[in-house]
Structure 1
Amino acid sequence: MTRTFFVTGTNTEVGKTYVSAALLKAAGDSGLNTAAVKPVASGCEQTEDGLRNVDALTLMDAMTQELPYQQVNPIALEPAIAPHIAAMEVGRRLDPSRLVGICRGVMSGGADFVLVEGAGGWRVPLAPRQFLSDLPRELELPVILVVGMELGCINHALLTAEAIRRDGLPLAGWVANFIRGPQAQMPRAEENLMTLRTLLPAPCLGVIPFDDSGDYRNGAAHLDPSPLLSSSD
């Protein structure tokens, strides 16, 4: 049975890819066949193979299945700005229905554990009156929330969880990711973690300390994906 989850964050730059790759690593270490999709990515770089996104390449490194880049990241945009603005600048149209089809193709590809990683936060626009959150809604995917541990994260996390529930999707779990170094570490971190554990309606899958190496394998050691792997979704 394939278990598929959509990964979103409380904001941009909160470590969605780091956490997604770490979850793929942890699931792979447990013997599962894993795959991932980064449907839309901006900030891509031109290479001899075409536009490539470092987040999508990280997911490809972490998962056990071998998929072509275009299937992992079907919409690659060069400008490092909001996807819908980047698409307008390069004359492309972001079609949620096409993204649904690509995700379903990966989901039906034989993997045991599949992650679909979003861009930015939950309500990222793709087109007028269309949002990236429409994708997990159409696919009926449970959601994993990455909480960037910084001042304001409780409000951001609770509002995001509320929006996910209002969209009719379950919050399958959340990860606390410390994104600031020692000199800018979050004050009263333990108290904030306790508040999040109390108020978020889903299990905490792990607390990841700040990691300046950026190596997702370090993060995998701090995650427990068992609540996801034991679910029926």
Structure 2
Amino acid sequence: MASGFFITGTDTNVGKTWATITLMHALQQQGQKVVGMKPVAAGCEWHQGGWKNQDAMWLQQYASIALDYKQINPYAFEQAVSPHIACGETAVSLAVIRKQFQKLQTLSDCTLVEGAGGWLSPLGQALDNAELATALQLPVILVVGMRLGCINHARLSYQAISQAKLDCAGWLAVQLEADMPAFAANLSYIQDTIQAPLLGVLPYLENPDFDFLAEHVKI
């Protein structure tokens, strides 16, 4: 089992955080000590003396050990826009993120790093998700939001991960709609055209139930 994974998505709002926490639960059920990290987050609210992102707070809540918020999310920006805009004059440092990731690795059996947006989305003015995943040298798990257009997004994302010479450990399908037309046919086509295992299908839920969702993944 890898000591960590990089979680990326076919787009923004495709269920990366739910998928990350689901994977954390599945690994914890195997007896592993697991933590999640969201290095860069935009769209934060002022909470208990600092800018905090709801997704990152969930990762903090579901970690196997108690962690300070900044250990999970070193770069938190207020504006709900692309991080390279939200960061303003703040330089998002790869060295800072890598150092914090290495600390988390010493505290856990497996560290899941959740990117922001899609594979080539920027994390700052001089860093994107692909560059971060390459620097961390983590196997990648691709979260595919199942909706119209997802086949193209999934295949392009997988192609880009492969071109970066990183291992795509698998992909997760997230059912974003209660009743997507031709869901099974779309799922089957992606399975046939992506040379990475389908790790699970997360069914549509109004509210998260991570124990239930963990029953639908294999890692």
Shorter-chain TM range is: over 0.9
Q: For 1:212-231, what aligned pairs fall within 5 Å after superposition?
A: 212-225=206-219
How far 1:220 sits from its partner (Å)? Answer: 1.3
Paired residues for 1:115-154 under 5 Å: 115-128=112-125, 130-154=127-151
Counterpart pick for 2:191 among 169, 194, 197: 197
Return 5+ residue gaps in structure 1 as ranges: 226-233
Runs of 5+ consecutive residues of structure 2 not aligned to the other structure: none
Which residues in structure 2 correspond to 1:67-106 (within 5 Å)?
A: 67-88=67-88, 91-106=89-104
Asked whether the equivalents of residues 22 and 62 of structure 1 are also in contact (C-alpha less than 8 Å), the reply is no
- Is 1:39–1:74's contact at 8 Å kept on the other side of the alignment? yes
CA distance in 2, matches of 1:71, 1:130: 19
Q: Which of residues 168, 172, 175 is equivalent to 2:165? A: 168
**SS of equivalent residue, structure 1 residue 120:** strand
Distance in 1, matches of 2:109 and 2:48, equals: 32
Tell me what 2:48 maps to. Answer: 48
Using structure 1 for the length normalisation, give the TM-score.
0.89
Normalising by structure 2, what TM-score?
Answer: 0.95
Change (3 A) 1:195 1:2: closer
Is 1:65 aligned with 2:65?
Answer: yes
Inter-partner Cα distance in structure 1 for 2:55 and 2:124:
22
How far apart in 1 are the matches of 2:210 and 2:17? Answer: 9
The Cα RMSD (Å) is 1.4
C-alpha distance after superposition, 1:30-59 (max 9, x if no partner): 111111110000111101231111111111
Q: Is this contact kept in 2: 1:19–1:146, CA < 8 A?
A: yes
Q: Which has the higher strand share?
A: 2
**Cα displacement (A) at 1:218:** 2.9
Aligned length: 219
